[in-house]
Amino acid sequence: MSDTSFTPRVFSGIQPSGGLTLGNYLGAIKRFVSMQDEAYETVYCMVDLHAITAKLLDPKELHYNTRELAAGFIASGISPEKSILINQSQVPEHAQLAWIFNCIARMGWMSRMTQFKDKAGKNAEKVSLGLFAYPALMAADILIYHATHVPVGDDQKQHLELTRDIASKFNHDYGVDFFPITEPVIEGAATRVMSLRDGSKKMSKSDPSDASRINMTDDVDTIAKKIRKAKTDPDALPSEAAGLEGRVEARNLINIYAALSEQSVDQVLAEVGGQQFGTFKPLLAELAVEKLAPISSEMARLMAQPDEIDRILACGAAQAREITAPILKKTYDIIGMVS
């Protein structure tokens, strides 16, 4: 089934489950910003309903995180003039469609989700039903806009495959061509930024070790210190990408440098190959500060105007509902709900 009849529309979101990390910025937000100037309508979302699936947050913390994330989006270059910017809970059709998708998705599909297995760990009996159902809500977030493209980091690939499966099953079961088969957009030099303390783990806002990540709000000294202390190996950097084989920490730092400087890995290695980490790390820290400091100072300026952030989100929700309400209504009609 082709999605050519659908308006080219981008949807993506980030959880306000903590502060924004460099992983979120390089894996997702940078691409969100560039897609605004391509031939798409763009909708970007603080997925606050997702943020309570792993654990219930302190209400004040969730409230703060949501505004801070909105500030991070805007400070990174997402313009409320070009994109619809929302927090998920202000657009109720996301959760309403998620219920339908809970009835479309199969237990077997959901049980195969690696993010659930990773987050639940040995505790699967004790985690919330919401954590298990998370990917069905994510599918609803996307499909309630009939989004055709979703920019994400590499870790979300499996959830996007599930979104495609849900859309196909709905279309097949009801004999319609109603939901698009969404395309993932996983691009750039750093689609999976790894922890600075353990190159086998993803950089994550909920990692208990703050030293494992760069937060978008970290100050200059903190960024430099975290990079200086980042785990590496004793060898010099190679001059070609093949030399990074089996060196996960080295690869991670090079990928971060490439993404921040908008070069390929080969271009970076042509410049820094042969250097020891003692020489390379200060270069990386300088680049990270140059790129991130303007964003964090703009975030601080925006956070001093919370009413303006709330106004932007309320306005975004009203615009969003012009898209989502008719799609939900049509979904209910297809299913046979009396209205």
Catalytic residue among 119, 201, 231, 291: 119
Residue selected from 15, 65, 87, 163 as contacting ligand AQP according to rule CB under 6 A: 15
Per CB under 6 A, which region of 79-87, 120-128, 189-197, 226-234 contacts ligand AQP? 189-197
Q: Which is nearer to ligand AQP, 126 or 175 (CB)?
A: 126
CB of 21 to ligand AQP, least distance (A): 5
- Does 14 sit near ligand AQP (CB under 6 A)? yes
Q: Which is nearer to ligand AQP, 26 or 331 (CB)?
A: 26
Whether 201 is catalytic is no
Q: What is the size of the binding site for ligand AQP (CB under 6 A)?
A: 21
C-alpha angle 198-261-240 in degrees, rounded to nearest 5: 65
Per CB under 6 A, which region of 141-149, 173-181, 187-195, 329-337 contacts ligand AQP? 187-195
Q: Please, are residues 80 and 320 in contact by the beta-carbon 8 Å criterion?
A: no
CB of 49 to ligand AQP, least distance (A): 11
Residue selected from 27, 180, 199, 316 as contacting ligand AQP according to rule CB under 6 A: 27
- Quick one: which of 236, 227, 224, 318 has its CA closest to 273? 236
Residue number of the CB atom closest to ligand AQP: 27
Whether 119 is catalytic is yes
- Does 88 sit near ligand AQP (CB under 6 A)? no
Whether 231 is catalytic is no
C-alpha angle 282-286-289 in degrees, rounded to nearest 5: 135
Per CB under 6 A, which region of 13-21, 88-96, 121-129, 233-241 contacts ligand AQP? 13-21
Per CB under 6 A, which region of 17-25, 235-243, 277-285, 319-327 contacts ligand AQP? 17-25
- Quick one: which of 158, 291, 163 has its CA closest to 218? 291
Q: Which is nearer to ligand AQP, 198 or 271 (CB)?
A: 198
How many other C-beta atoms can be found within 10 angstroms of the C-beta atom of residue 192?
16
Binding mask 266-305 for ligand AQP (x = CB under 6 A): ----------------------------------------
Strand order of the sheet with strand 149-151? 83-87, 41-46, 9-14, 149-151, 183-185
Per CB under 6 A, which region of 73-81, 149-157, 240-248, 267-275 contacts ligand AQP? 149-157
CB of 186 to ligand AQP, least distance (A): 8
Q: Please, are residues 153 and 190 in contact by the beta-carbon 8 Å criterion?
A: no
Residue selected from 63, 82, 169, 192 as contacting ligand AQP according to rule CB under 6 A: 192
d(CA 278, CA 315): 49
Catalytic residue among 82, 157, 169, 205: 205
Chain residues that interact with ligand AQP, rule: CB under 6 A: 14-15, 17-18, 21, 23-24, 27-28, 152-153, 155-156, 191-193, 202-206
Active-site residue set:
119, 202, 205
